[in-house]
Structure 1
Amino acid sequence: MKSESAAIDIPESSSVAKGKAPLIAVSRNEKGGYRKGIAIFDFILRLAAIATALAAAAAMGTSDETLPFFTQFFQFQASYDDLPTFQFFVIAIAIVGGYLVLSLPFSIVAIVRPHAVGPRLLLIILDAVALTLNTAAGAAAAAIVYLAHNGNSNTNWLAICQQYGDFCQKVSGAVVASFITVVIFVFLIVLSAFALRRH
C-alpha cells in the first residue's frame, strides 16, 4: 500500500506576524541626503582653503629681493621680516592653514554621520575664530602693501614698488590669496549654519 504524506498548513498567529521586520529598510528621513552633500562640499572647500592659506604664507615667507646695485656701506634689500606686520601675516596664516588641516577629520566625520551636531558646532565656532585671525592678518598686510605701492606724501613715505617690483608682486599675491581664504571661510560658516539650522 502506498502511504500518502499529508502536509498540514498552520496559519501564523497575528502576534508572530507583527514581529517580522521588513527586508528593505526605509530611512527615517529620506530628505537627509542634502546634509551629506553639504558635508562633502564643506570638505572640498576646506581643501581649497588649505591651498590658498598655505600659498599665501609661502608667498609672503619667501618674498625677498635685493637690488643689483649697492654702495660700500649699504645693500638695498627688502624682505618680509623687515616689517612686523608681514611677520604677523606669515605666522597667522600658517596657524590658519594648520587649523584647516586639523579640521579635515571633523569634516570627514560630518560626511560619515551627516546628522551629527557636535562636529558641525565645533567647526563653526573654530571657523569663526580662524576667519577673524585670517581677516586681521590680511587687512594689516593689505595696508602695508598699499603703502608700498602708493606711498604717503603726508608722512614722506615713498612708494618702494617701483624699485622692488618682485617683492611687491609676491606680497600682493599673498594678500590676495589670504582674502580668497577669507571668502572660503565665510562660505564654510554659512554652510555649517545652514546644516545646523535644519536639525
Structure 2
Amino acid sequence: MSSFRENGYTLIELLVVIALLAGLSAVLLLNGAESRNLVQLQTSAQQLESALTQAQAYGNSGRAFPAGTDKFDSGFGVFVTTASPKNIRIYGGLGDANASGTFDEGEEKYTVATQNFELIKLGGNVEIGGIRGISPNANASEGHVLFRRGEAEAHIYTNNQTPDGLRITLASGSASIDVVINKAGLIYIDQ
C-alpha cells in the first residue's frame, strides 16, 4: 500500500510553488510598469523634439501667421514652463523678442504664453522636470526657442537670459530624458 506522500504534493510544497509564482508575478508587473514609463518618456521626448523641428520649419519658411494674412516675416517658436509641466506650446506670429519673453510687434506687446499656435499635452505621468540654460548654465522656470525667416540660428531665452542652448528635462517617476537645442538649431535627445 502506498502512502499519501508518494501519490501527491504536500501542503508545504504547494505553498512554496504559490509563493514562487506570486514573487515572479510581482517582478513582472513592476518591470512592466517601469517599461511603460520609459516608453511614455521616450514618446514625450520625441514629441518635444518634433515640436521644436516644426517651429524651426515654420520659422525658416516664413509661414504666414495668422493664416490667410500677408505677414510672412513672423517667427515661430516653442515655449515650455515648469508652471504648466504637461504643456508644450508652439507659438507663432511674433517677429522679435527681448530676453524677458515679451515680443514687440509695433505698438502691441505679446507674451509667449498667450500666443498659442498649437498646444501639445504630454501623456501619462511625464512632466517637464526642469529647464536649464546652457552657457550660462542656470536653472530656469521657463524657456522658449524662436526661429525667424532668414536667420539660421535659434533665439533661445530663459528667465531674462539668452543662453547658447537649452536643456529641457522630461521626467516620469525616477526616469528622465533631456531634449537639448543649441544656438545653431541642432536638436537632439540626450538619454
Higher RCO structure, 1 or 2 (CA under 8 Å, sep 6+): 1
Q: Which has the higher helix share?
A: 1
Q: Which has the higher strand share?
A: 2
**What is the TM-score of this pair, normalised by structure 2?**
0.31
